[in-house]
Amino acid sequence: MKIIMEPIGTIHSPFSFGDPMPVQSIEGRDIEGYIELLPEYIDGLKDLDGFSHIILLFHIHLNKKVKMQTRPFMENEYRGIFATRSPSRPNHIGMSVVRVDRVNGNRIYIRDLDIVDGTPLLDIKPYIKVINEKDKVKLGWFEKHKSRDVKWHD
Amino acid sequence: MKIIMEPIGTIHSPFSFGDPMPVQSIEGRDIEGYIELLPEYIDGLKDLDGFSHIILLFHIHLNKKVKMQTRPFMENEYRGIFATRSPSRPNHIGMSVVRVDRVNGNRIYIRDLDIVDGTPLLDIKPYIKVINEKDKVKLGWFEKHKSRDVKWHD
């Protein structure tokens, strides 16, 4: 079964492919960029500027690899791909929570970017604390890293 | 530009299409179900059982509508699709944070389900508090509803 998706826009950031990049948005703090939404979706942006944070789902278009296990760089052990945020995952969907600066026409100016310039955007969802935040959270292999600066990728 | 995805498995829940359903996982509290992962992805489940919560990205396969604005049912006003979690969005990607009960072979037993039985799964990501939780969050139109029971959909 194939599921066909099409980008709804493009994410613009200061990071070109191959540049050193923040590996999560928390580390990309204050890095600015913008989303250029396709004009046909502009009516869907109504009310978005009331939210301080949005969830971006995007296509990790520059990575074609699929691995079942990867070694996060602060780890010695290989971890299951679904227990990491590694980009080398089936379907190559990336997720990032960014701050909204302002919306102007079909452009959404955002901060806290950890995404490469030119990345195809698949969806935008509002970040809602009561829905997106959970109690009694256990972090598995990541637990010992949680008080460090968050730096982890494939 | 077309992006082709394939399900990595199927989400099984007590909710059939047409049943009354919880509209977010927080309202589906304790509802149990399981993910049946395709056998080729089983090695990717290593370490997943250390996490209490996972983020599921899935294909909202029973909804073919795309709307630019919808009226959340506790609202009188139409809101931009990207400022809501309505299923009638471009690309029809759904997102839910669920609790992990246990992993057994290619099955992940989960709780807090708000997903219809048979939904194609696209990705699993670990839920990590320091990455997924944000400070100084503003909720736009949803602000006045946040202390109510969370009940909202298209």
- Asked whether the beta carbons of residue B5 and residue A3 sit closer than 8 angstroms, the reply is yes
- Asked whether the beta carbons of residue B122 and residue A3 sit closer than 8 angstroms, the reply is yes
- Counting residues of chain B whose pLDDT is more than 70, the rounded percentage is 79
pLDDT at B134 (0 to 100): 64
Size of interface A-B (CB pairs under 8 A): 242
- Between A12 and A136, the higher pLDDT residue: A12
Residue in the block written with tokens 């494939």: A154
Facing A2 at nearest CB: one of B4, B125, B143: B4
- Counting residues of chain A whose pLDDT is more than 70, the rounded percentage is 79
Check CB contact of B146 with chain A, cutoff 8 Å: yes
pLDDT at B152 (0 to 100): 36
- Asked whether the beta carbons of residue A47 and residue B143 sit closer than 8 angstroms, the reply is no
Structure tokens at B76: 């009188």
Give φ, ψ of A72 to 5 degrees: -55, 145
Taking only residues 98 to 117 of chain B, the set having a beta carbon closer than 8 angstroms to any beta carbon of chain A reads none
pLDDT at A104 (0 to 100): 96
pLDDT at B154 (0 to 100): 29
pLDDT at A151 (0 to 100): 38
pLDDT in tens, B5-49: 999 999 999 888 777 666 555 566 778 999 999 999 999 999 999
- Between B38 and A151, the higher pLDDT residue: B38
Residue B53 confidence (pLDDT) above 90: no
- Asked whether the beta carbons of residue A128 and residue B139 sit closer than 8 angstroms, the reply is yes
Residue in the block written with tokens 């046909």: A40
pLDDT at B82 (0 to 100): 96
- Asked whether the beta carbons of residue A134 and residue B127 sit closer than 8 angstroms, the reply is yes
Task: Identify the CA nearest to A117 among candidates A61, A54, A52, A40.
Answer: A61
pTM of the predicted protein model: 0.88
Given pLDDT bands bounded at 50, 70 and 90, which one contains residue B153?
Answer: very low
Domains of chain B: 9-145 (2.40.30.70)
- Between A125 and B18, the higher pLDDT residue: A125
- CB of A63 within 8 A of CB of A92? yes
Check CB contact of A1 with chain B, cutoff 8 Å: yes
pLDDT in tens, A43-100: 999 999 988 889 999 999 999 999 999 988 777 889 999 999 899 999 999 999 889 9
Check CB contact of B91 with chain A, cutoff 8 Å: yes
Residue A133 confidence (pLDDT) above 80: no
Chain B residue at shortest CA distance from A142: B128
CB-CB neighbors (< 8 A) of B62 in chain A = none
pLDDT at A135 (0 to 100): 65
pLDDT at B149 (0 to 100): 44
Task: Identify the CA nearest to B35 among candidates B62, B55, B16, B51.
Answer: B55
CB-CB neighbors (< 8 A) of A3 in chain B = 4-7, 59, 61, 120, 122
pLDDT at A76 (0 to 100): 84
Residue A40 confidence (pLDDT) above 50: yes
Facing B81 at nearest CB: one of A44, A120, A131: A44
Instruction: Spell out the alpha helix ranges (H) of B38-134.
Output: 129-132
CB-CB neighbors (< 8 A) of A47 in chain B = 79-80, 83, 140-141
| Secondary-structure percent of chain A, ordered helix, strand, coil, rounded to 5 | 15, 35, 50
pLDDT at A154 (0 to 100): 29
Average pLDDT, chain B: 84
Residue A145 confidence (pLDDT) above 90: no
pLDDT in tens, B68-92: 999 887 778 899 999 998 999 999 9
